[in-house]
Amino acid sequence: MKHFILPIAFFLFSCGSNTDQSQAFVPESSGNLNHITVVMPENDWKGALGEKVRDEMGTIYEGLPLDEPQYSLDYMNPAAFSGFARQSRNIIWFQKDSTARFQLAKDQFARPQIIALITGEDSEVQSFSFEENATLFRQTVAENERMEKLRRINKSPTTETNLAERFGYHLNYPSAYKTVKDTTNFIWVQKPIQKGHLNIIAYTLPETALNGAFNKRILNIRDSIGKLYVPGRLEGSYLITERAFRPYFYKAYLDGKQGYLTKGTWEVANDYMAGPFVNYMIRDSLQKKWFVVEGFAFAPSVSKREYMFELNTILTTLKKAN
C-alpha cells in the first residue's frame, strides 16, 4: 500500500448569487428523507471505494429495536448524473483529478442541497479523503435533513394550543397529530399511520425528581408515568421501558436549557407490544421543575427509522411559548 500526505480543502459555499432573482432559477431538490445519492464509476462502487462509502455512511440509527442505517444510499453512474438526477438533496460525487480535495457545496443544482465533491488521482486517494471528512459530511446532511423535515411540517402545522396553555411550552408538529389525553399534568397527542400510530407525550416533574442515579431514575419515572397515563390494549397493561436492551443516555440542550436525552425501546406490561422511544428531560430553573417530552412509535413489522426521525425532529422544536 502506498503512503501519501493529502492537502484537504474544506469549503461550504453557494454557487451563484444570493439575490432573490438568482435563487428563483434554482429548482427545488428532490428525494426521500435520509437518502444520499453516490456518484462514482461502477467499478469503484463494487470495489474498495464503494465499500468505504457504505462503511462510513452505514452508521446505525440509535434506539431502534432492529438495526437500521441512518442513511440509505442510492448509487448512480456518472454518465447518468445530469438533468433531474442532479436535483437530489444529498450527493456524494467522486471525480478523478490530479488534485486531492474534499469540498462541500450548498445549493449548487437545487435547493436545499448538499454536495460532497471528492477528487483524487485514484480511488485510494479519494477513499482516504472521504474517510477523513465523513463525520463532517454526516453532520452536515443531518442538519440538512432536519431542516427539510421542518419545512414539510410547516406546510400544515397544528393549531392546537393546549401544550402551551398547560405547560408554557410549544412544539411544532403537523396537524395530523391530535390530542387523545389532556389531564392536570399530562398531555398525549397521536397521529395514526398505516400500521400503528406515532405518539408524543409531555409532563412535568419536581426539581428533585432526578436526584441520585439519573439513568435509573429516568427509566423508573417513565414506567410510573406509563402506568398512570398510557394504558395498553388489555386490562392491566401499560407502557414501560424495555430493560433487555440498554438505552442510550446523553446530556442534551433544548431551548437553551440543559437536560438529558434517552433513546431506547418501550414495551407494554402484560401484553405483546413494543417499539422505539426518544425522551427529553429538560430542567426549567425558573419554574424549578423538569419538563419532559417524549415521542414513541408503534409500527409493527415495518421500518421505524423515518417515524423516529419525524418524532425526534418535532421534539427538537421545543421552546418556551410566547
27 pLDDT band, cuts 50/70/90, is very high
Average pLDDT over residues 6-20: 42
Q: Which residue has the higher pLDDT, 8 or 89?
A: 89
The predicted pLDDT at position 212 comes to 82
pTM: 0.90
What are the pLDDT digits (tens) for 74-99? 999 999 999 999 999 999 999 999 99
Q: Is the pLDDT confidence value at 20 over 70?
A: no
β-pair partners for 231 = 238
| pLDDT tens digits for range 129-147 | 999 999 999 999 999 999 9
Long-range CB pairs of 25-30, under 8 A, 24+ apart, other chains included: 26/107, 26/109, 26/110, 26/111, 27/87, 27/109, 27/110, 27/111, 28/87, 28/110, 28/111, 29/87, 29/88, 29/89, 29/110, 29/111, 29/112, 29/113, 30/84, 30/87, 30/88, 30/89, 30/110
Per the CB < 8 A criterion, the answer to whether 64 and 147 are in contact is no
Q: What band does 306 get if pLDDT is binned at 50, 70 and 90? A: very high
For residue 90 the three cell numbers come to 444529498
pLDDT at 24: 57
Give residue-wise pLDDT tens across range 175-216: 999 999 999 999 999 999 998 999 999 999 999 999 888 888
d(CA 86, CA 108) in angstroms, rounded, equals 9
Average pLDDT over residues 244-257: 92
Residue 112 has pLDDT above 80, yes or no: yes
Cell 407490544 -> residue:
273
Could you tell me which residues come within 8 angstroms of residue 203 by beta carbon, excluding any fewer than 6 positions away? 185, 186, 187, 225, 229, 292
Mean pLDDT of 278-307: 96
* H helix runs in the chain, sequence order: 20-23, 42-46, 48-57, 123-153, 162-167, 214-229, 305-315
Question: What are the tens digits of pLDDT across the range 48-65?
Answer: 999 999 999 999 999 999
Q: Taking all residues of the chain, what is their mean pLDDT, rounded to a whole number?
A: 91
Average pLDDT in the 104-117 region? 96
What percent of the chain is modeled with pLDDT above 90?
Answer: 85
The domains of the chain, with CATH numbers, are 12-153 (3.30.379), 162-320 (3.40.1000.10)
Q: What is the 3-state secondary structure (H, E, C) of 138-188?
A: HHHHHHHHHHHHHHHHCCCECCCCHHHHHHCEECCCECCCEEEEEECCEEE
Mean pLDDT on 252-267: 95
pLDDT for 18: 43
Lowest mean pLDDT among 19-28, 165-174, 272-281, 306-315: 19-28
Give the pLDDT of residue 16: 41
Which residues on neighbouring strands pair with residue 122, listed in sequence order?
none
